[in-house]
Amino acid sequence: MSSPSRELDVQPEALTAFAAASTDRAARFRELHRSFGDGHVPRHAFGVMPASFSLAGTYAEQFEACLQGLADGAEVMADIAEGLRDTAGAYTGTDVANTDMFVPGRPAAPDVIAPGPWSPGAGGTTGPVPA
């Protein structure tokens, strides 16, 4: 598919493939989150020396930040995958709709649009809207 200006070529299959890769990356982030969490070093492992308290505190902060980063990465990859699938679907749907619109033998569009439910009716001051 290409844009009207022919400057943009969109390949929905490529978008779908990238979405699948993003879904796989999200799963990998979740897997890393689980295994990283399993490797947590408890506070008592740092000992009781004065410097061990600040070391343990720094470790805990960085450990939590890493866990949060992995969780955020999984969420972002899942969002990217969803957006790419939606985009590919929109391009494909638009292409199908445009193709269907120009099918040979299809009846011509009407010259006027039929009044809708909010039209004032036969006695109203507005009439049909030109197409």
Model confidence at 116, pLDDT cuts 50, 70, 90, reads low
Biggest CA pair distance of the chain: 92
Please tell me the least confidently modeled range out of 17-26, 34-43, 83-92, 111-120. Answer: 111-120
* Digit-coded pLDDT (tens) for 71-92: 999 999 999 999 999 999 888 8
For the chain, how many residues are written?
Answer: 131
- Please tell me whether residue 91 adopts helix, strand or coil conformation: helix
- Between CA 56 and CA 64 the distance in angstroms is 12
User: What pLDDT, on a 0 to 100 scale, did the predictor assign at position 21?
Assistant: 97
CB atoms within 10 A of CB 17: 13
Q: Which residue has the higher pLDDT, 117 or 38?
A: 38
Q: Is the pLDDT of residue 59 over 90?
A: yes
